[in-house]
């Protein structure tokens, strides 16, 4: 399911540790590290060009590769009652058509209501890419699943990515929301999965009480 590019699709499950990085600066930043190698896989920020290859306009977020190459640009679509966001391949240019859009499933949907992601026709580099994805669960609580809707009658929905709380391997304590795990299913585009993370962070925001994860400690799996 190559959406951003085939090089981001691996035959085995890919696990990324994602850290929210911008606490004392004006941008919204993320850094994602490969669980196997420990190396930087993706990073994201809201800074303009000239500040490390980030987004080109205020309010945009740029997903970058480890060398700073632009992979995706996301921005809010205005006006939009559903809080709709759009994603563009690479560094967005004027007049460029979006690759995907994402929104809350309902105008009344809160942080725990998930999201709907639509891959726009003729935008993907792969004809087998799903046209519609559903995010179930709460991103604000770092507990949600991304599911690809069936494309044809008789097909079943398929899990393509999952976001979970990260557990400290030594203490078995659930870490805060600023560090979490993104699991990408075999064959799915990891760069696109990170693009969904960027949009979910904006759609969901911070849900009150999301750090109360005592129940998660008992069942959490270490990554």
1 secondary structure, DSSP code: -
pLDDT in tens, 165-213: 998 877 888 888 899 999 999 999 999 999 999 999 888 764 444 444 4
Reply yes or no on whether the pLDDT at 215 is more than 50: no
Task: Kindly report each contact of residues 166-171 with a partner whose C-beta sits within 8 Å and lies 24 or more positions away, as own/partner.
Answer: 166/17, 166/223, 167/217, 167/220, 167/221, 167/222, 167/223, 169/222
Residues facing 170 on adjacent strands: none
Reply yes or no on whether the pLDDT at 160 is more than 90: yes
Q: Specify whether the CB–CB gap between 75 and 85 falls below 8 A.
A: yes
Query: Maximum distance among all alpha carbons in the chain?
Result: 51
pTM here? 0.81
Phi, psi of 8 (to 5 degrees): -100, 5
pLDDT in tens, 65-105: 999 999 999 998 776 555 689 999 998 888 889 999 998 87
Q: Which domains does the chain have, with CATH numbers?
A: 11-206 (2.40.160.200)
What pLDDT does residue 171 have? 81
Position 151 confidence tier, pLDDT thresholds 50, 70, 90: confident
């Amino acid at each position: 399911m190559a959406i951003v590019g085939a090089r981001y699709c691996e035959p085995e499950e890919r696990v990324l540790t994602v850290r929210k990085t911008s606490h004392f600066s004006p941008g919204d930043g993320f850094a994602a590290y490969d669980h196997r190698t420990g190396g930087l896989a993706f990073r994201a920020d809201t800074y303009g060009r000239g500040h490390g290859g980030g987004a080109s306009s205020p309010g945009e977020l740029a997903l970058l590769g480890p060398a700073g190459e632009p992979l995706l640009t996301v921005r809010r679509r205005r006006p939009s009652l559903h809080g709709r966001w759009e994603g563009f391949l690479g560094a967005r240019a004027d007049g460029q058509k979006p690759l995907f859009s994402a929104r809350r499933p309902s105008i009344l949907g809160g942080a725990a209501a998930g999201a709907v992601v639509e891959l726009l026709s003729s935008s993907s580099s792969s004809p087998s890419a799903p046209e519609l994805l559903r995010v179930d669960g709460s991103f604000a609580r770092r507990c949600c699943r991304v599911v690809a809707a069936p494309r044809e009658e008789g097909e079943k929905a398929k899990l393509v990515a999952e976001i979970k709380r990260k557990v400290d391997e030594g203490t078995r304590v659930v870490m805060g929301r600023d560090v979490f795990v993104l699991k990408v299913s075999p064959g799915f585009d990891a760069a696109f999965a990170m693009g969904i993370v960027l949009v979910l962070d904006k759609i969901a925001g911070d849900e009150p009480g999301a750090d109360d994860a005592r129940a998660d400690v008992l069942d959490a799996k270490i990554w």
